[in-house]
Amino acid sequence: MKINNECARKILLEIENIPYGETLTIGKLQEKMPEYPIEAVLSIVSDFNKEYFLTILDKASYDNTDVFRDHKIKGLSQKGIKALDYIRSDKMWKRIKDKIENFDDLSIYTIIDIAYKITNVEQNKLLGLPEDILPIKERW
């Protein structure tokens, strides 16, 4: 199933808002986003779980198997928080969406990488560093 990038971003934003010590079932998460079908939400959450962007409770095992409606999301992992930092801003999201012609064909991970690079170029300009200097980072 192709990931809807708008849905993926919204999922990260919703998960970020889970209060400390609480959880949110995937079914309840989808209810907060009725414009997206449960299949899309499950697919994205499952993918984010495999990429270690979030923490899922109530799994029978800790392997990367699919998640279900009643699984509980505890919150974003450190990796998920870092990824969201780059696409959290509506201004950055719109900027990328408006400039990239094939936005809907790109994966959310590619969009995060683009936002990461834009952010670093802007920070380098602010600090008077060459624009092409990027810190070494792990692949999402």
Helix (H, G, I), strand (E, B) or coil at 72: strand
Report yes or no on 134 lying in a domain: no
pLDDT digits (tens, 9 = 90+) for 48-74: 999 999 999 865 545 555 678 889 999
**pLDDT for res 140:** 46
Domain region containing 95: 86-127
Classify 66 as helix, strand or coil: coil
Measure the CA–CA gap between 43 and 40, rounded to whole angstroms: 5
**Residues 6 or more apart in contact with residue 128 via CB below 8 angstroms:** none
Q: Whole-angstrom Cα distance, residue 61 to residue 77? A: 18
CB 22 within 8 A of CB 73: no
Domain assignment of residue 140, yes or no: no
What is the number of domains present in the chain? 2
**Residue pair 55/75 in contact by the 8 Å Cβ criterion:** yes
- 41 and 59 belong to one structural domain: yes
pLDDT tens sequence across 5-50: 999 999 999 999 999 999 999 999 999 999 999 999 999 999 999 9
On whether both 103 and 56 belong to a single domain, the answer is no
Token couple for 118 = 């834009």
